[in-house]
Amino acid sequence: MSTSRTDQVGARGADVVIATLSNILVHGPVSRTELTTRLGLSPSTMTRAVKPLIDLGFVHETEEQLEGPGRPPRPLVGMSGAHRFVGVKLTGDDVYAVATDVLADVVAESRHPLTGHEPTVVADVVAAVVRELVPGDSLFSVGVALGGSVSEARTVDRAPFLDWRGVPLAELIEEKLSVPVFIDNDLAALAAGEHWFGVARGVPNFAVVTVGMGIGLAIVREGTVVRTHDIGLGLAGHIPLDPSGPRCMLGHRGCSTALLTISSIEAQASVALNRKVSFSEVIELSRQGDNACREIVVAAATALGRLLALVANLAAIDVVVLGGDGLPILDGHEIAMRRSLGEGRDPEATTLDIRVDRSGFERWARGAAADAIQWSLPRLLADTSS
């Protein structure tokens, strides 16, 4: 049996090598000095960790000069490599998927409709999409993100939009693809993706807030997504924001669901105009000066500011990534949102850095690919170095 280069520094050394590679992929180009500080390692330990990564072709030194005094360092960057990873975002209607390299750079993408919600049917569609994106033998692993609660990246404990409980989705897909499959809550995957390659790339502490058919919240703390079983319950959807606001379907008055979700905004406008109104029409009528629609949208923007203030205050963060299909409520009304946000923060608090991401479900799929990459690093290094 051959000896792995990572084995040469022992089990602890292997962990250090994996952590080093992960940090280079997320933060590169990055100097060895910054890495030693970030990981709390000595220069000699960092040298031992970087060497196998360079030898195996995962990392290389560039001639790019980083800012700073003294002799220009040769920063480290990740190499794309031949391995492919697929990220999948499941909705009730479609499968969104992207194929990436180990840097999470997209090399292909696809969207297919779901033909049913039975677990075997969904697994079949996912497997077919994955094979379409990566037809050869370069596929290394797959990440699947969906709205719901997940156990051990294997089992979907609860997914209301699919009417699932206790579905061994990873196993069902693995049987068809013969590669490791990881399942994650979609908000957690999105947060991982924003940290890996998105608008919060390299930010150690931030929150992701999504507004659309539901209200989503995920937290990244010290570079790690905070994953709990309850993340799939949509708990941010019933935070009280306006005691005089409309009620949600559970009877909560003025909660985030009642004020911010697309369906609630449509329902309020439909009552006000005495006819069925779509979300896009509400936004357009608000732009045109319709008083009823404008009041609804301004109330939503104001409520969003209150929600962001609460998230920042309670999570002790100063960066929020804001996304989702409901973001058009801010078009022309961002001032109302920021005014409400300011009212909910201490005047001496750090100004909240709001980073808006208006990309679609492909970004969520790319987050699932980032999951697959991160969770595959130990096996990737072991397979390559053996």
pLDDT in tens, 174-226: 999 999 999 999 999 999 999 989 999 989 999 999 999 899 999 999 999 99
- Domain coordinates in residue numbering, the chain: 6-78, 84-192+362-385, 201-358
Q: What pLDDT does residue 9 have?
A: 40
Q: What pLDDT does residue 231 have?
A: 87
Rounded CA separation 160/181 (Å): 21
Residue of 113, 115, 107, 114 lying closest to 133 (CA atoms): 107
Rounded CA separation 104/87 (Å): 10
Residues (pLDDT < 50) of the chain are 1-11
Sheet order of strands, 94-100 included: 106-113, 94-100, 84-90, 139-146, 181-185
Rounded CA separation 219/126 (Å): 28
Going by C-beta distance under 8 Å and a sequence separation of 6 or more, which residues neighbour residue 306?
Answer: 241, 242, 340, 341, 343, 344
Q: What pLDDT does residue 337 have?
A: 97
CB 29 within 8 A of CB 64: yes
What's the pTM value of the predicted model, to 2 decimals?
Answer: 0.88
Q: What pLDDT does residue 62 have?
A: 84
**Cross-strand bridge partners of residue 86:** 99, 142
**Cross-strand bridge partners of residue 96:** 89, 111
CATH number of 6-78: 1.10.10.10
Q: What pLDDT does residue 71 have?
A: 52
DSSP for 92-118, please give it.
SSEEEEEEE-TT--EEEEEEEE-S--S
Looking at domain 84-192+362-385, what is its CATH homologous superfamily? Answer: ATPase, nucleotide binding domain (3.30.420.40)
Going by C-beta distance under 8 Å and a sequence separation of 6 or more, which residues neighbour residue 123?
Answer: 169, 172, 173, 175, 176
Q: What pLDDT does residue 386 have?
A: 59
Which alpha helices (H) appear in 237-359, and where do they start and end? Answer: 256-260, 262-273, 279-287, 291-315, 334-343
CB 58 within 8 A of CB 50: no
- Domain 201-358 in the same topology as domain 84-192+362-385: yes
Give the right CATH number for 201-358 from 3.40.640.10, 1.10.150.120, 3.30.420.40, 3.30.300.170.
3.30.420.40
